[in-house]
Structure 1
Amino acid sequence: MIVAPTEFTVRGITYSIRVAVAEDAAALSHLRVQIDGESENLDRESGEDYIDAEQFAQIIKRDNDSPRHLFLVATVDKRIVGFSRCAGTQLKRLSHKVEFGVCVLKQFWGNGIGKHLLQQSMSWADSSGIKKMVLYVLETNENAIKLYKKLGFEVEGILKQDKLLSDGNYYNTLVMSRINES
């Protein structure tokens, strides 16, 4: 299913959300390294599990060719400032669900970009017959948890002492999901 580009204006910032294309690959490779270094909310530190432009191009192609995947980017003045992915599987027993992940440059936090990426993904999932969206969120990411709950996600479980952060302490990860009952 195709997701139409959508424009939003929040707090004077206008941004667009659209499906990723091959030409985004180099920018996404650079962006991912930058975002990973800005926050401990994600799994990686800056430069870990590096994905180069060619690998991103392959991911984009695979996602765009699959009815169970969605790769979205958020742009401000044609610059990619965030992205999200829904990844599913063709395995029959799991084909009803996708995993959602999102990241946004820190300077653009608070402008609804993550929320709109998630809402666009939820609309896509609902219209694609996907019954369940799953995501993982660090217990300390209170703003994200509040947003996910507001959008209908519920805590399904807790992965205890799941992540070691720079303060030397282990933190839990919440497993959250949203089930489309329709």
Structure 2
Amino acid sequence: MTDKIIKNTQIEADKLFELMSTLDKETTYMLYQPEERKYDRKKLETFIRNTSENGLILVAEEDSIYVGYVSVHLSSLAKIKHSAYLVIGVLSDYAGQGLGSEFLAQVIDWARVSGIHRLELIVVTENVAAIALYEKFGFVEEGVKKDSLLMNGRYYDEFYMARILD
């Protein structure tokens, strides 16, 4: 596991960018290609602040290095403000050690306290480990986004998944 989970505005932009950049290099399952993510401290600090004010952001830290994160985004639009969209990334060296489960448990607890009724995400259909994790936490497949991503000259589908909270 990790040393600690850091929440919202205590998150350091430089360390979060390093984590995101490393994830872009390690996996094809995150949205950005490695060369696409550009560092802009002010933009990232704004992202952290806005996510903290209109959702939740958590990072896991070990030995002063960020090793995983989850961001949860809310809309201010009346018809969908009961829903939250989440993104999770965990470094490969920390995958399978319970960090994703810890993130999802905290997100679900936060969502219940915050009055969120629906959690949703998109996941590449070939990301079997992530799908199993989401299903373990009650997420169900709602549909398929066909040919959603183009990577390495090939199209990939994504599942829409969601969990309705009690």
State the alpha-carbon separation in 2 of the partners of residues 77 and 125 from structure 1. Answer: 29
Which position in structure 1 is the counterpart of 2:80?
Answer: 94
State the alpha-carbon separation in 2 of the partners of residues 55 and 114 from structure 1. Answer: 26
Which position in structure 2 is the counterpart of 1:152?
Answer: 138
TM-score, with length taken from structure 1: 0.85
Q: 1:153 to 1:23 in 2, by over 3 A?
A: closer
Which position in structure 2 is the counterpart of 1:172?
Answer: 157
Contact 1:26 1:52 in 2 (8 A): no
- RMSD over aligned CA atoms reads 1.5
Within 5 Å, which residues of 2 pair with 1:98-177?
98-166=84-152, 168-177=153-162
Size of the alignment, in residue pairs? Answer: 166
Q: In the alignment, does 2:62 pair up with 1:76? A: yes
Q: SS at the partner of 2:36?
A: coil
Q: Percent identity?
A: 31
Which position in structure 1 is the counterpart of 2:47?
Answer: 59
Superimposed CA distance per residue, residues 82-112 of structure 1 (whole angstroms, 9 cap, x where no aligned partner): 1110001111001100100011111111111
Give the stretch that moved more between structures: 127-136 or 57-66.
57-66
Contact 2:11 2:59 in 1 (8 A): no
State the alpha-carbon separation in 2 of the partners of residues 96 and 23 from structure 1. Answer: 25
TM-score, with length taken from structure 2: 0.93
Unmatched tracts of structure 1, length 5 or more = 1-12
